[in-house]
Structure 1
Amino acid sequence: MTSAIDSRISTVTGTSVVLSGNDIDTDRIIPARFLKHLTFDALGEHVFEDDRKQDHARGVTHPFDQQERSAGSVLLVAKNFGCGSSREHAAQALYRWGIRAVVGESFGEIFRGNCGTIGLPCVSLAPEHAEEARSIGLADAGAVAEVDLGKGVLRIGDREFPVQIQASLRDAFLEGTWDTLAELLKNADQVSGTAAKLPYLTGF
């Protein structure tokens, strides 16, 4: 008998990592040379690798290299984050680094979908609210950010902002149906029964 797996995601709580700038594309999130990795396991250490190296050369510490942000799990971004190519590695790299929710003004559509399939909610909010949330995060690395999918709000510091997420994605997170593997395991008996009837699996 398969044990139940609870994949529901209703809230994500943690400190923040703040990225400035619009139109941050997937090639910047994870450079193309890392797409050759056979698994996603090591992608987290290479997230924003080129940007981080460039900042280091200029004597600037990239947000993903700031010690006080090293445990951050809520990524605060601006407009059109995750635009560009459709590489799923971008979502995986952020997740493997430790990000568990992304909050911004808007997202690349395919990127947002790729995030949804691995349990990484992307929620959007009004530009002025996004800017204020980033300002709070920048001012205080210890400020706790909470993305509440059920109530549709972001709480950070002492402020609360309404956020939006595609209804189907929100429901999938709240109900735990975003995780297709967990769904298969939860219905293992039905899957086995169906497989037993397929001639190409049973040898005709």
Structure 2
Amino acid sequence: MSGADGEAASDGGVDAPAVERVVGTGVPVRGNDIDTDQIIPARFLKVLTFDGLGEFAFFDQRYETTDPDMAIDAEHEVAENPTDHPFNDECFRDATVLVVNANFGCGSSREHAPQALQRWGIDAIVGESFAEIFAGNCLALGIPTVTADPEEIEALQDHVDAHPDTEITVEVADEVVHYDGHEIAASVDPAQRQSLVAGEWDRTALLGSNSEQVAETAASLPYTDK
């Protein structure tokens, strides 16, 4: 992810980093209409924070579970029965670019889905299309959701399968994806692109960086304590 970590603002807040590009190896997860329940099963939502959710990403696709009521802190006896899901493949373990197909992230609006992917290590997602709410939840974490033609996505997935160490560059600002001498014409939602490139995607950081204006606005409201 380009840009430095958040820098201190003049009024003591923290600026969100600009996300102009993401560079890293890829992991292909194939299939249309992969919903948020597949990305992070509902039983793992009973947490106070998002910490540790990464290990449960695609859990029911990665393991042959025999206990659907297993608690999040239970012993993982099902981990002894892994499937051939890409998230179980050691050659993809350090991947930061997820490559998916159509309507990825459909289903419920749970923000735990992109939270789990980010904590697994994903910094950008390239796919055919995304569910709108899922893409919005990704934006709130600074994760670009970049789209391209199905043929280009399939070719990228095939290439990553065959060459897991291939470096992928997702150019958010320029809307291009590069890998191994190939260039994919991509698309980023204009509002998402603006927020990422300008470093305005983190609303909490944005408020913190404009604390004086927030205080002035709050003081002008009739229903707040002065």
User: Shared fold by TM > 0.5?
Assistant: yes
CA RMSD of aligned residues (A): 1.9
Residue 186 of structure 1 corresponds to 209
Quick check: 1:136–1:156 contact (8 Å CA) kept in 2? no
What is the identity, as a one-letter code, of the residue corresponding to 1:146? T
> Could you give the per-residue CA deviations for residues 5-41 of structure 1, whole angstroms, max 9, x where no partner exists?
2421000010011111111111000000011111111
1:41 aligned to which of 51, 55, 63: 51
What is the identity, as a one-letter code, of the residue corresponding to 1:190? Q
Residues in 2 aligned to 1:26 and 1:88: alpha-carbon distance in whole angstroms: 9
Q: CA deviation at 1:200?
A: 4.8
Q: CA deviation at 1:151?
A: 1.1
Quick check: 1:136–1:157 contact (8 Å CA) kept in 2? no
What is the identity, as a one-letter code, of the residue corresponding to 2:24? G
Residue 109 of structure 2 corresponds to 86
Residues in 1 aligned to 2:16 and 2:110: alpha-carbon distance in whole angstroms: 28
Residue 155 of structure 1 corresponds to 178
Residues 1:82 and 1:3: Cα distance change in structure 2 (over 3 Å): closer
Q: How many residues align?
A: 203
TM-score by length of structure 1 reads 0.92
What is the identity, as a one-letter code, of the residue corresponding to 2:62? R
Residues in 1 aligned to 2:59 and 2:110: alpha-carbon distance in whole angstroms: 16
What is the identity, as a one-letter code, of the residue corresponding to 1:168? A
2:17 aligned to which of 7, 24, 47: 7
Residues 1:151 and 1:200: Cα distance change in structure 2 (over 3 Å): same
Q: CA deviation at 1:202?
A: 2.8
Residue 142 of structure 2 corresponds to 119
2:191 aligned to which of 168, 171, 175: 168
Residues in 2 aligned to 1:86 and 1:18: alpha-carbon distance in whole angstroms: 23
Residue 8 of structure 2 corresponds to none
Quick check: 1:14–1:74 contact (8 Å CA) kept in 2? yes
2:63 aligned to which of 44, 53, 59: 53
Q: CA deviation at 1:2?
A: 1.1
Matched, 1:25 2:2: no
Residues in 2 aligned to 1:175 and 1:115: alpha-carbon distance in whole angstroms: 16
TM-score by length of structure 2 reads 0.84
Residues in 2 aligned to 1:188 and 1:74: alpha-carbon distance in whole angstroms: 34
> Could you give the per-residue CA deviations for residues 107-165 of structure 1, whole angstroms, max 9, x where no partner exists?
11111111111111111100110111111111111000110011110111221101111
| Percent sequence identity over aligned pairs | 44
Residue 68 of structure 1 corresponds to 91
Residues 1:6 and 1:178: Cα distance change in structure 2 (over 3 Å): closer
SS class of match (2:27):
strand
Matched, 1:132 2:155: yes
What is the identity, as a one-letter code, of the residue corresponding to 1:99? I
Q: CA deviation at 1:60?
A: 3.8
Structure 1's unaligned 5+ residue stretches are none
Quick check: 2:82–2:88 contact (8 Å CA) kept in 1? no
